[in-house]
C-alpha cells in the first residue's frame, strides 16, 4: 500500500474520531444519525445573522460562541467549520472558553479556514511569504489547542511564477503541522466568475497538493463547468484528509452527482455545508436546512 493511500485511510478515520466519542444516548433519538455524523456546517453560512458581522443591527443577537449549541440543537450536527476571523481573541483563556462551548454541545471543530488577504502562499514578496508561514504556524498551534484536526490555507493565485515558492512554503508549514497532528488543506477555487481575481484551475491545485504533501479540501461548487467538476472531484477526493465543502445550486450543477463521485472514489469524510445568500436565499437558518435535507438524501 502506498504511503498516501495509508494516510488517506487514516485521515478518514481521524475525520470521524469525534463521532466515536459522542454519547449515544444523547444522539440516538435523532433520525439519520449515521448520516448526520458525516455533516459539518460552516460558520460563515450564518454571517447574515451573526451579531459580530453586523454590530449596528440591534435585531441580531446570535453570537459566535452560541453557534455550537444552536447548531447541535436545531440541526443535530456536531461538527462546525470556522473562519479564523470568527475568533475574537487567540489568548489561551478565550480559546479554552471556545473549546468549552464546543464540548458542551458534544461537538468538534472540523476545520479552521485562514483568510490573511495579502498574506497567502502565492505572494511574490519574500518578506510577506515568511510572515505568512510564521502566522500560519501560530494558527496551527491554535488549532491544536482547540482540538481541530484541519487548517485550510489561502493559496492565492498559484500562478506559474510563484508555484515553486508556494510549494516550498507549504512544505515548511506542513512539517510543523505534522508535529501538532494538524492537517494542512487547500481547496479548489476556480468557479467561472470572470469578475474575480485569477484562480488556479483544479489541475494546478492537485499538482501543488501532491508536490507539497498536503491535503485537499474538495469544494463541489468551485468549478467552471460540470465537465471540470466531474474530473476535478475524482482527482481531489482521494487526496482529502476528510473534509469537503458542499453547496446547493441545482440551476448550476447536481449536488447528487457530486456525492455520487465521492462515493465512487471511496470518500468517507465530512461534507461541510456552505450556504450562500445568492444561491440559497436570505434566511441562513432555512438555507442551511435546505442543504442539510439534500445531503441526507444523497449521502
Domain encompassing residue 36:
3-298
- DSSP string for residues in 166-226: HHHHHHHHHHHHHHTT-EEEEE----S-TTSPP---HHHHHHHHHHHT-EEE-BTT--SSH
Kindly report whether the global pTM for this prediction surpasses the value 0.75: yes
> What is the total count of domains within the chain?
1
Integer Cα distance of 207 and 137 in angstroms: 23
Integer Cα distance of 211 and 149 in angstroms: 21
The closest of 225, 220, 254 to 236, measured between CA atoms, is 220
Q: What is the CATH number of the domain that holds 21?
A: 3.20.20.150
> Contact, 57 vs 45, CB < 8 A?
no
| pLDDT tens, N- to C-terminus, the chain (299 residues) | 444 443 444 444 344 333 333 333 344 455 689 999 999 999 999 999 999 999 999 999 999 999 999 999 999 999 999 999 999 999 999 999 999 999 999 999 999 999 998 999 999 999 999 999 999 999 999 999 999 999 999 999 999 999 999 999 999 999 999 999 999 999 999 876 554 567 899 999 999 999 999 999 999 999 999 999 999 999 999 999 999 999 999 999 999 999 999 999 999 999 999 999 989 999 999 999 999 999 999 99
52 burial type by CB count under 10 A (0-12 exposed, 13-18 middle, 19+ buried): middle
Amino acid at each position: 500500500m502506498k504511503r498516501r493511500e495509508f494516510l488517506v485511510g487514516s485521515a478518514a478515520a481521524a475525520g470521524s474520531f469525534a463521532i466515536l466519542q459522542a454519547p449515544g444516548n444523547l444522539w440516538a433519538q435523532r433520525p439519520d444519525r449515521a448520516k448526520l455524523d458525516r455533516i459539518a456546517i460552516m460558520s460563515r453560512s450564518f454571517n447574515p445573522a451573526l451579531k459580530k458581522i453586523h454590530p449596528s443591527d440591534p435585531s441580531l443577537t446570535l453570537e459566535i460562541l452560541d453557534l455550537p449549541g444552536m447548531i447541535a440543537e436545531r440541526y443535530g450536527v456536531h461538527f462546525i467549520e470556522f473562519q479564523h476571523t470568527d475568533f475574537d481573541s487567540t489568548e489561551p483563556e478565550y480559546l479554552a472558553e471556545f473549546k468549552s462551548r464546543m464540548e458542551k454541545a458534544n461537538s468538534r471543530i472540523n476545520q479552521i479556514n485562514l483568510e490573511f488577504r495579502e498574506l497567502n502562499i502565492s505572494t511574490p514578496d519574500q518578506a510577506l511569504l515568511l510572515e505568512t508561514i510564521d502566522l500560519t504556524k501560530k494558527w496551527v498551534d491554535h488549532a491544536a489547542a482547540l482540538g481541530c484536526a484541519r487548517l485550510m490555507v489561502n493559496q492565492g493565485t498559484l500562478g506559474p511564477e510563484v508555484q515553486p515558492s508556494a510549494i516550498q512554503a507549504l512544505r515548511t508549514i506542513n512539517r510543523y503541522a505534522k508535529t501538532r497532528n494538524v492537517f494542512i488543506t487547500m481547496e479548489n477555487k476556480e468557479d467561472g466568475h470572470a469578475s474575480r481575481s485569477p484562480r488556479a484551475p483544479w489541475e494546478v491545485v492537485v499538482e501543488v497538493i501532491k508536490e507539497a504533501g498536503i491535503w485537499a479540501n474538495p469544494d463541489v461548487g468551485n468549478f467552471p463547468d460540470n465537465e471540470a467538476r466531474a474530473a476535478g472531484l475524482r482527482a481531489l477526493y482521494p487526496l482529502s484528509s476528510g473534509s469537503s465543502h458542499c453547496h446547493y445550486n441545482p440551476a448550476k450543477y447536481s449536488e447528487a452527482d457530486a456525492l455520487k463521485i465521492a462515493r465512487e472514489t471511496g470518500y468517507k469524510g465530512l461534507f461541510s455545508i456552505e450556504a450562500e445568500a445568492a444561491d440559497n436565499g436570505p434566511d441562513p437558518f432555512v438555507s442551511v436546512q435546505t442543504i442539510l435535507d439534500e445531503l441526507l438524501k444523497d449521502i
